[in-house]
Amino acid sequence: MKTYSQLVGDGGSDILGQVVALRQKIAERLTPIQRMFAIGSGKGGVGKSTLTMLLSQALLEEGRRPVIMDADLNGPTQARLAGLRVGPPMPGAGGLSVPRAASGVGVLSLGSYISEDQAVDFPSISSGDSYVWRATKEFSTLAEFLAATDWTPFDTLLLDLPPGAERTFQYAEFLGAQANFVLVTIPSAVSRGVVRRSAAALAKTEAPACGYIENMSGYFCSECGQVRPLFPACEDDLGLPCLGRVSFDPALAAACDRGLTAGDWVGSPSFQEIRGIVRRMSENAGASAPAQAGQAETTS
Amino acid sequence: MKFLCMNCDAQMKLIQTVAPDQGSGISVVYGCPDCGNRIGMLTNPWETQVVSSLGVKIGGKTVDEVGASGDDPLRGCPFGEVVRQMVPAGSGGESPESPSNGSAFPESADVPSAPPGDAAANAPSGDPVWTEEAATRLANIPEFIRPMARQGIEQYAKSHGVQSIDEKVLDEAKAAFGM
């Protein structure tokens, strides 16, 4: 009897063709994006989303046109950080229109469409046991967003990934060589250990690792103006270049909860550190190559 | 997934997609081009959901071709919309004239979807109708958020006394919502 690889095509559905077509569509849509950064972490709660928003503001200062895609579909936070109110998605002439924060940064987040008192539910014809299909559905939904959004007003895409080492690996395989990965940690040995594991997993993929950011490296005291340590010193090698260290600024943290405005970060010492990080990210990263996403290996 | 006729050692080809019974998944018929033997691939709701979650469409026939009598075999079927999304339109074909009667997912708050070009005939009375161009714009955004967009735009239209949603109304709604 013939084997799978000896049969040409799939008998009528052309599943592979559909996958290739989708990847090509994503690549075409992302043509305006000159550079893509995926911001991941090992553990949750390390400030990845806040850092992503602050990175976007620093990119604006550099004259870039950044857009954030909140890839954490289950726990979207970028809409709140951007101070966006909940409203309906809007179909523009060129695809899904991206809402803008007051600063001008584009923010595409389910948090703009679904209020925080509602769970993000995917329609299903099966009842229960959603663990069987939900992760797959999230990636196909993400692909749909990438393929259907009007990215033309922007040139730099920041993907705020869901937390977790396994997620970093999954997204690295999903995005491929076009995304430069930045991992976020805090100084604790536990967090750094998970990032080290994530870095090792990233090394097995095509996705380039730009480096890591150490958030909450210290506590900024507004009274004495000094940065004091929050964690014991830990200098173990994570296998990635350190892009920079950001101190915890309580005033900035409070501003994040109510939605950031330009005045919130300009004077913050944490933001001075962010500016340096953005420069180093640009130095370490290659330009994104959206065309590569469409060149899926085809097998018959 | 591919299907092999063991008698002929030949690949089986997709023949037909059959409308599901209530509570079941989809059914796809494959046939051997050499001996004519046929098999049916039947999926339960979880298997159907897994395939649906991949974001691909299985089957190669339009829903119109499935219903040979001309009736919409998916009318009233709670999974009709899922099957419609999973069965791509044939070459040169259009969306079926008969819309689904309501949301495929009883727990959701989706409003009924009207096909492009036939919106006036199918819209519930009192709701604005969509022009073909406006409906095409809506169809080009991710399926997951499409009901939210439709609902928000129709609410905007109603609150402004708009009876027909065209691209100009979409642009006005976009500006009104700060985009």
pLDDT tens by residue, B163-174: 999 999 999 999
- Band of residue B104 on the pLDDT scale cut at 50, 70, 90: very low
How confident is the model over A148-155, as a mean pLDDT? 96
Q: Tell whether B132 lies on the interface with A, counting CB pairs under 8 A.
A: no
* CB-based contact A2 B11, cutoff 8 Å: yes
Q: What is residue A292's predicted lDDT score, i.e. its pLDDT?
A: 38
pLDDT at A153 over 70: yes
> What residue of A is the nearest CA neighbor of B138?
A91
- Band of residue A29 on the pLDDT scale cut at 50, 70, 90: very high
More confident residue, A73 or B63: A73
Q: What is residue A171's predicted lDDT score, i.e. its pLDDT?
A: 93
* CB-based contact A91 B173, cutoff 8 Å: no
Question: 3-state DSSP call for residue A183?
Answer: strand
Q: What is the pTM of this model?
A: 0.81
The closest CB to that of B4, out of A7, A95, A136, belongs to A7
Quote the minimal CA–CA distance from A278 to chain B in Å.
Answer: 27
* CB-based contact B104 A132, cutoff 8 Å: no
pLDDT tens by residue, A78-118: 999 998 988 999 999 999 999 999 889 999 999 999 988 88
Q: What interhelical angle do A189-202 and A165-175 show, nearest 10?
A: 30
Quote the minimal CA–CA distance from B16 to chain A in Å.
Answer: 10
* CB-based contact A140 B174, cutoff 8 Å: no
> What residue of B is the nearest CA neighbor of A17?
B56
Interface of A with B in 80-139 (CB under 8 A): 85, 87-93, 95-100, 110, 113-114, 121-127, 129, 132-134, 136-137
Q: What interhelical angle do A48-61 and A269-284 show, nearest 10?
A: 80
The angle formed by the CA atoms of residues B69, B72 and B73, to the nearest 5 degrees, is: 85
Q: What is residue A99's predicted lDDT score, i.e. its pLDDT?
A: 95
* Test the A interface: residue of B3, B65, B144, B172 with most A CBs within 10 Å: B144
**Out of A25-29, A103-107, A231-235, which region has the weakest mean confidence (pLDDT)?**
A231-235
> What residue of A is the nearest CA neighbor of B134?
A91
> What residue of B is the nearest CA neighbor of A86?
B177
Q: What is residue A185's predicted lDDT score, i.e. its pLDDT?
A: 93
Q: Tell whether A292 lies on the interface with B, counting CB pairs under 8 A.
A: no
Q: Chain B contacts of A13, Cβ < 8 Å? A: 14, 56-60
pLDDT tens by residue, B111-132: 333 334 444 444 556 789 999 9
For residue A273, CA distances in Å to A243, A249, A250 come to 10, 12, 15
Q: Chain B contacts of A98, Cβ < 8 Å? A: 179
Q: Tell whether A31 lies on the interface with B, counting CB pairs under 8 A.
A: no
Token pair recorded at residue A175: 């995005």
pLDDT tens by residue, B8-48: 999 999 988 876 555 567 888 999 999 999 999 888 888 88
Q: What is residue B107's predicted lDDT score, i.e. its pLDDT?
A: 27
More confident residue, A149 or A262: A149
Whole-angstrom distance, CA of residue A41 vs CA of residue A46: 8
Quote the minimal CA–CA distance from A217 to chain B in Å.
Answer: 37
* CB-based contact B143 A96, cutoff 8 Å: no
pLDDT at A19 over 50: yes
Strand ranges for chain A from DSSP E? 35-41, 66-70, 91-92, 95-96, 106-108, 156-160, 179-185, 209-214, 219-220, 227-228, 242-245
